[in-house]
Amino acid sequence: MQHAEPITVPVDTLLDWYRTLVFCRRFEEQTERSFRRGKIGGYLHVAIGQEAVPLGFLSAIRPDDVFFVSYRDHVHTLVRGTDPGMVMAELYGKLGGTCKGKGGSMHLFDVARGNYGGYGIVGGHIPLAVGAAYALRYQGTDRVCLCFFGDGAMNSGALHEAANLAGLWGREGLCPVVFVVENNQYGMGTSVERASAVVELARRFDAYDIPNERCDGMDVVAVYEVARRVVEEVRRTGRPYAVEALTYRFSGHGAADLFQPYRTKQEVERWRQRDPILVLERRLREAGALDDEAVREVEAWAEKRVQEAVSFAESSPEPPPEELYRDVYGA
Amino acid sequence: MTYREALRSTLVEEMDRDPRVLLLGEDIGVYQGTFRITEGLLERYGPKRVIDTPISELGFIGAAIGMAMLGLRPVVEVMTWNFSLPAADQILQNAAKVRYFSGGQVSVPLVIRGPNGAGVQLSAQHSQSLESFYGHFPGLRVVAPATPADAKGLLRTALRSEDPVIFLEHAALYGIKGPVPDEDYTVPFGQAAVVRRGRHVTVVAYSRMLHLALAAADELAREGVECEVVDLRSLRPLDMETVAESVRRTHRAVVVQEQWPLFGAAAEVAAGIYERCFDDLDAPVERVTGEDVPAPYARNLEKLAFPDEDRIARAVRRVLQ
């Protein structure tokens, strides 16, 4: 880990982040309930426990920057400012969803906000992000591209081919991409130690001459500090960078991962001590910026906002049959 | 103009016209292209627009998709279509579908081009025809021009399209010559062409097989058999109307493809004929296809493995019996 000058984040921003983290948590919990009630179908991958990573990184980029995400994409989409009702409606398969109900949980898009989507094949979106970064420089801009993926994608050929291209194109200053490895310790049920010959995943980017570091993915301030510095550098140099954020998902891999035989309750409990909401809450309480009443207020606000999203999703119409054949081709 | 020059000159015209067009591929720059389609283009446009890639199809085809999503118009050269298979996940799972699962928020104006089909003694891994493989997937356009004029007209359409295009050339066609109009014409997707008029039987083909079909038609003409030859040009979208219109007049059909018989383009075309003009047929539709084996190396075995003029002529005689 490298240490630069600490960035002082204003308390108001920290409070905003706290509200966002609590809201995202309540939102994800609601999606699990809605899944159990049959309102959400297919696969559902929540990011409970991992929220600080997307929040920290997406707080460090500009509105005109772009990003690509794996299928665990709800939190990224929410913190980027997409209307929660539209996100929930997408999960409900409704016309009012981000993609008119045609993508679902794994394919949230909001291109107007630079969200180039969630992708369902592990590692499959990483080459896209490298090409997108090239395009941004080709077009003569100083925009950057973030590419979020899990530890599981580190073992896919797509990652390695894309990283090699990024290293090559970066030498010419033509690949402003940040690889954000959301290392939640497990690729589905297989731990990093059982899947990767090198467990310090960041180091694997050395092979492509891509500067890299690890950060604490449970502390949004720590994530943000790294993200801001790295994004600034990538924007300036046009060279790729990789950050491995150490994080943990408290929920199962997907909604069907009920028994989790690959890990112990004790392990989950240990990580829960470092729940990103708790970490930030402690920080704010120590600063005297948050008390019990304020916490209750945030909880009530978050719950209300989630219920509004559910109401929107419930009342949104199903996509009409004409949508079946729309969007297959352009022109 | 040769087929090769038709392709190359179209790339030049479109790159001159539209700065969003850029090229990626293995050895397309310094080496000048395996089949010299991109000869001189690195010098003309520079390394930012003519990108020599590592041997890494999954990586650079995926990256080209990302470029297209951000508004560029990349043209990827695959040295042969056999080498697209490591990138099949990118082409089929991302390029073909991202418009759909994003609810229409992104386009992928991408052209992937290169030689498809058998060469001479290239054996099992380098002789495949992948049109039915890619043609299976909604979201892709699949074209296979047989002449220099169509190579130019279809490449122009591909380069101006908003969709990913699988552009299938054929190594045996690069040197052929043919007339090419001077004006800025395009050949639309999904428009077959009747390239020879005849009243006894409709022979449907595309790419290199078109030339075999025409040669067979010449031979049959000496026997008094008049073949109508239809060049599909596009496989997705597939212009069944032109085929059916012809079959309604001739009442007989032979469909030719280089690829393996099972689930192939000829089966699709034959089914389309049965659906549209069953009552017009005077004989079952015949298919002429490659044999159902991996391509062998030995010259004599290879000749047995792929269609030739005689086999097409024999199929025509069968449907006329």
Distance between A165 CA and the closest CA of chain B, angstroms: 7
Q: Please, which pLDDT band fits residue A5 given cuts at 50, 70 and 90?
A: low
Is A109 near chain B, with CB under 8 Å? yes
In this structure, what DSSP letter does residue B2 have? Answer: B
Is the dihedral angle over the CA atoms B164, B169, B174, B179 positive or is it negative? negative
| Catalytic site positions of B | 57, 126
* Mean pLDDT on B165-174: 98
Q: Look at A329 and B65 and tell me if their CB atoms are within 8 Å.
A: no
pTM value? 0.97
Residue B158 to residue A106: CA distance in whole angstroms: 30
Q: Please, which pLDDT band fits residue A258 given cuts at 50, 70 and 90?
A: confident
The answer to whether residue B189 scores a pLDDT higher than 90 is yes
H or E element that contains B65: helix B57-69
Selecting from A131, A164, A165 the residue whose C-beta is nearest the C-beta of B65 gives A131
C-alpha B159, offset from chain centre: 15
Q: Please, which pLDDT band fits residue A1 given cuts at 50, 70 and 90?
A: very low
User: Do A116 and A66 contact (CB within 8 A), yes or no?
Assistant: yes
Tell me whether strands A66-69 and A115-118 are parallel, antiparallel or unpaired. Answer: parallel
The answer to whether residue A13 scores a pLDDT higher than 80 is yes
DSSP reduced 3-state for A177:
strand
DSSP letters, B7-35, are HHHHHHHHHHH-TTEEEEETTSSTT--TT
- What the block records as the tokens of A229 is 């510095």
In this structure, what DSSP letter does residue B230 have? Answer: E
Q: What is the dihedral of CA A219, A223, A225, A229, to 10 degrees?
A: 170
Tell me whether strands B253-256 and B227-231 are parallel, antiparallel or unpaired. Answer: unpaired
* Mean model confidence pLDDT for chain B: 98
DSSP reduced 3-state for B17:
helix
pLDDT of residue B119: 87
Read off the pLDDT of residues B41-86 as tens digits, 9 standing for 90 and up. 999 999 999 999 999 999 999 999 999 999 999 999 999 999 999 9
Residue B123 has φ and ψ, to the nearest 5°, of 60, -165
Residue A210 to residue A178: CA distance in whole angstroms: 10
Q: What is the predicted ipTM? A: 0.97
In this structure, what DSSP letter does residue A110 have? Answer: B
Q: What is the dihedral of CA B235, B241, B246, B249, to 10 degrees?
A: 160
Q: What is the dihedral of CA A43, A329, A323, A94, to 10 degrees?
A: 40
Read off the pLDDT of residues B79-106 as tens digits, 9 standing for 90 and up. 999 999 999 999 999 999 999 999 999 9
Vertex B186: Cα angle to B183 and B190 (nearest 5): 160
| Domains contained in chain A, CATH given | 11-316 (3.40.50.970)
| Domains contained in chain B, CATH given | 3-173 (3.40.50.970), 193-320 (3.40.50.920)
Nearest to A240 by CA among A157, A124, A145: A145
Q: Which amino acid is residue A84, in one-letter code?
A: P
For tokens 């033509």, the residue is A174
CA gyration radius, chain A: 19
The answer to whether residue A7 scores a pLDDT higher than 70 is no
Q: Look at A109 and B106 and tell me if their CB atoms are within 8 Å.
A: yes
Selecting from A135, A157, A172 the residue whose C-beta is nearest the C-beta of B66 gives A135
* Mean pLDDT on B11-31: 98
Q: Which amino acid is residue B54, in one-letter code?
A: P
Q: Look at B59 and A109 and tell me if their CB atoms are within 8 Å.
A: no
Read off the pLDDT of residues B237-265 as tens digits, 9 standing for 90 and up. 999 999 999 999 999 999 999 999 999 99
* Mean pLDDT on A282-303: 97
Residue B321 to residue B309: CA distance in whole angstroms: 19
| Residue numbers in A near B67 (CB within 8 A) | 131-132, 134-135, 138
Tell me whether strands A241-246 and B73-77 are parallel, antiparallel or unpaired. Answer: unpaired
Q: Please, which pLDDT band fits residue A110 given cuts at 50, 70 and 90?
A: very high
pLDDT of residue A255: 85
